Amino acid sequence: MASDQSLVRATACAIVEKLNSGEVTPLDLLDVLEQRIAEVDGKVNALPTLCFDRARTRAKALMKKPIGDRGLLAGMPIPIKDLFNVEGVLNTQGSPIFKDTIAARSDIVVEHLEGNGAVVYAKSNTPEFGAGANTFNEVFGATLNPWDLSRSAAGSSGGAAVALATGTAWLAHGTDMGGSLRNPASFCGVVGMRPSIGRVAHTPVAKIDRNLTVHGPMARNIEDLALLLDAMSGEHPADPLSLPRLPTPFLAAARSGKRPKRVAYSPDLGITPVDPEVAAITRKAAMRFAEAGAIVEEAHPDLREAHECFHVLRAFDFAVSKAALLRSNRDLLKPEVIWNIEEGLRLTVEQLERAEAQRVAMTARALEFFKSYDLLLAPATIVAPFPVEHRYVAECDGKKFDNYVEWLAIVYAITLVCCPALSLPCGFTASGLPVGLQVVAPPRGEAQLLAGAKVLEDILGVRGTTPIDPRPAK
């Protein structure tokens, strides 16, 4: 079984079934992944830190339990984004400052996953401190898009997305502030989801109630995504924002077949330019909801303050979490991180007051919008995968951006209004690059989000295009 590389193409749900039936063991799966990583990861650099010895020790301990007592994931291997601690494993955060740092204790989200039967075998690559939606850093270098090795995998959960796309992971952990689960999912032809605030408990860092960033799941299809969200969800006393587990599993919700009655599509949310080809592909996909009996209309909530609001709140987050590093290690920080921290340190209380009020107003308008629509659809990224040597998207459709995050407005606007959202593969450009459709539900509406996304996934028929072997630059 250890040499059965066909397993890399199985769904995560099928793998868990094999684990629960005893057809495969966690050790078998680790052998399969180790061989697959040796074959393909050198081309894409998705999983720069491996911890197979630790994983096998954990797997053997898990296998001493009866199969029915091994947790929801039953021994499923999972990579963790290299921003978060896994006990005994290197945690660089993509920064030269932490290039030799070994974690003394795991983050709550890792403990939670391991308690549900996950086996951690790798850390996935990320930009320095997750800043910037292009996965490169001075410690490990760039992660390349397997659909075209000259292209970006986006970020900041870029390593996770590429691992899924190349078959070196069945499920993957990530985080999302300005689309960091949705952007790489879109660029790599997989599914990434930003859950509601508190859905996934994590270890508070720098500020108890930081909520722009949330932890979430990434997978190759909606059912697998729901499975991982079930394994990640649940409250923890150390995270005061964390929510209790819901009585109905998210996997059951995804499989419910519940169809939305009325959905809205917007090519730009009224706030950003969009590449015309991306707009056309996402519009065509959104309109196919009509095949499920849904009314599809062009509409979006009023999000006009999103740029100013996110710029201020993101800068404040960087100041709170990274100002000490600026004081002690300025020479080791990349320019974009320095800029973000300094922007935060210059903020006035009046600017913060205005930004928080804007967020409250936009969230209220979004809630009102969802009284009329079950789901909101939009592009997950405003461009197709761009050349990896470009640090970020500087302009789109004739508009030049003011900073390195403004091109992410179509996702960070959704972050601000506290909605769960995911990127669903919905088609390909003329040059064969993946495009993701952003699907958004009202706050705490993960169940209807997953159900609706599964309905559209079935209609579109794009599921199953991954994993792929890395493809040369075109």
Question: What are the pLDDT digits (tens) for 160-204?
Answer: 999 999 999 999 999 999 999 999 999 999 999 999 999 999 999
Catalytic annotation, pick one of 95, 106, 152, 156: 156
Determine the average pLDDT of the residues in 267-276: 98
Residue 467 is assigned to a structural domain of this protein: no
The tally of domains found in the chain comes to 1
Residue 466 is assigned to a structural domain of this protein: no
Q: Does residue 81 carry a catalytic annotation?
A: yes
Confidence band of 460 (pLDDT split at 50, 70, 90): very high
Confidence band of 1 (pLDDT split at 50, 70, 90): very low
Is the pLDDT assigned to residue 259 strictly greater than 70? Answer: yes
Give dist(CA 6, CA 18) in Å, integer: 13
Catalytic annotation, pick one of 180, 186, 196, 423: 180
> Is residue 220 within 8 Å of residue 185, measured between CB atoms?
no
What residue numbers bound the domain in which 182 lies? Answer: 5-460
Is the pLDDT assigned to residue 3 strictly greater than 90? Answer: no
Is the pLDDT assigned to residue 473 strictly greater than 80? Answer: yes
In a 3-state reduction of DSSP, which class is residue 3?
Answer: coil
Q: Does residue 156 carry a catalytic annotation?
A: yes
Report the CATH number that the domain containing residue 449 is assigned in CATH: 3.90.1300.10
Residue 261 is assigned to a structural domain of this protein: yes
Residue 170 is assigned to a structural domain of this protein: yes
| Residue 236 burial class via C-beta count within 10 angstroms: exposed 0-12, middle 13-18, buried 19 and up | middle
Residue 401 is assigned to a structural domain of this protein: yes
> Is residue 470 within 8 Å of residue 194, measured between CB atoms?
no
Determine the average pLDDT of the residues in 338-344: 96
Residue 296 is assigned to a structural domain of this protein: yes
What's the mean per-residue pLDDT of the chain?
97
Is the pLDDT assigned to residue 66 strictly greater than 50? Answer: yes
Give dist(CA 252, CA 378) in Å, integer: 25
Give dist(CA 457, CA 219) in Å, integer: 13
pLDDT tens-digit series, residues 422-438:
999 999 999 999 999 99
Determine the average pLDDT of the residues in 284-311: 98
Is the pLDDT assigned to residue 223 strictly greater than 90? Answer: yes
Q: Does residue 180 carry a catalytic annotation?
A: yes
Share of the chain above pLDDT 90, in %: 99
Catalytic annotation, pick one of 81, 123, 334, 454: 81
pLDDT tens-digit series, residues 386-419:
999 999 999 999 999 999 999 999 999 999 999 9
* DSSP 3-state percent helix, strand, coil across the chain (nearest 5): 40, 15, 45
Residue 134 is assigned to a structural domain of this protein: yes
Is the pLDDT assigned to residue 279 strictly greater than 50? Answer: yes
Determine the average pLDDT of the residues in 142-149: 98
Confidence band of 474 (pLDDT split at 50, 70, 90): confident
Residue 282 is assigned to a structural domain of this protein: yes
